[in-house]
Amino acid sequence: MTTAEHVEWMTLGSNRVRVATRAGHDGTPVILCNGIGASLELLQPLVDHLSPARTIVRFDVPGAGQSPTPALPHTFPGLARALGCLLDQRDYRHADILGFSWGGALAQQFAFQNPRRCRRLIVVATATGAIMVPASPTVLAKAVAPQRLGDPDYLMSVAAQI
């Protein structure tokens, strides 16, 4: 975290999430969506290289980083609504949305549900979905294991393989 960033807890829909904001003065904010199970710190090297004039917002999705695990599994449409709540609470009419890996799917879902609020959609290292070439069965089993939703130690033990 840089000293110019502010970290706070926000309630987005029914979820309490940790949000980091680096305030800038130059127009449209950039919202960063992390890869699966990753905390907002994952993209710190990218934030460090972006213009300090840009407002950058990162968040831990429910069940990742320091955000509590939700009572029920989340869905991409539900997470996209929560992201819309974040924009509402910050009075952002629109944003540039960057999604890394799994966060790319969330970014795409947000853009689909909110075409007027997503000025730019940027996806980085994001798979194409169900028609992509599948990984080996052992990697897929680790990626879909129920432990991935609530056990940070499990995620750390399999992250390099996934």
Distances, alpha carbon 124 to alpha carbons 30, 91, 109, 158, in Å: 14, 26, 15, 21
The answer to whether 40 and 33 have CB atoms below 8 angstroms apart is no
Q: Is 82 exposed, middle or buried (0-12, 13-18, 19+ CB in 10 A)?
A: buried
Helix (H, G, I), strand (E, B) or coil at 22: strand
Per the annotation, the verdict on 51 as an active-site residue is no
Q: Decide if 158 contacts 142 (C-beta within 8 A).
A: yes
| Candidate list 14, 101, 136, 157, residue with the active-site label | 101
**Tokens, residue 33:** 């969506």
Q: Which residues form the catalytic set? A: 101
